[in-house]
Structure 1
């Protein structure tokens, strides 16, 4: 496969995906149904035209039959009157009309066949369209239900994602809280061990004075104990 052919395949694939997003199958089904109805109307229109043409020819044939009957009567009267020349003329005209009548019979027969064919086509097409209409409505209902389900699922998915974000935020807050508590405990422990000075209980000078006072008391008590031990 050449480069141009591969590019063409990729473009067609992307266009198909775009069309899938844009195209609504319900609209496509409705459009197909409308086109079938138009076709049915064309068949009915053709059937009406054929029927009208056949009827017109039948009327012409009826007029020819009347004319032939009249000419036949005139020929009989002419023979009865001894006017064979007039009888011959009437019969010649009758023969010409018979040729036209036979031609009309052929045309009427052809139109009759065409009429029956169109009637059959109309019946089959009407049945097909009705079947398509019922199937179309079923598919549209199924598509609408599926579309609604997708929207619900997407909505639930969005809620789940939001709840996941909330849960993550809570988890981070708990972790920070535990970290802060651990840090506070560590600082308290360091303060108790004397590794850190607690500046919150007084200034430095006061602390040093307290230490000196406490040291003096310790020395005094130690000296007192020594004196008692000597006795």
Structure 2
């Protein structure tokens, strides 16, 4: 099947869709040569040649597609992105990534993930301005990041303070420090155990087959509740 033309309308349609991460990545990867030609000044008016707004939208969407499809390490507890997303940022034209706010956000996000700064990851995803076209994809990645973090924490800690666990998941750490029962229940609903005497949570390991890029439906439902901050 012939791929639709590389246009702003087509890229927008792909990015705002609910396509599975692997499909999203596959479609956008096929347009990278077109993006390279366009950034070099090639193309035609019909394809939006030299349109920096379109190119920034494309590269931002492709960046999130990398994050959504690439596996993260389970140990140590703090997750690390494997190199493909970093490699993409090296291929983005310098004039774009140094001046476009969305691409700057992407670079800051990658840096925060790479440096294991969970709090900063959530601040970037939730607090920085993102174009309306990208907001759906940003939210998808936030849920994915929470899923992967929950799995990693569950398999790496024998016991953990509520405030620390809340920090990993982007929840209210001050409320968790006071043993807020709403937050405690969010974790016990995941199968964890709460001991009010020791004031510690005892995680129950959550395992996902390596080939499965999405956690089981039960975990997704639990993370949906965690997202209701």
Q: Is the TM value for this pair above 0.5? A: no
How high is the TM-score relative to the length of structure 1?
Answer: 0.20
Larger-Rg structure: 1
How high is the TM-score relative to the length of structure 2?
Answer: 0.21
* Structure having the larger proportion of residues in helix: 1
Higher relative contact order, structure no. (Cα contacts within 8 Å, ≥ 6 residues apart)? 1
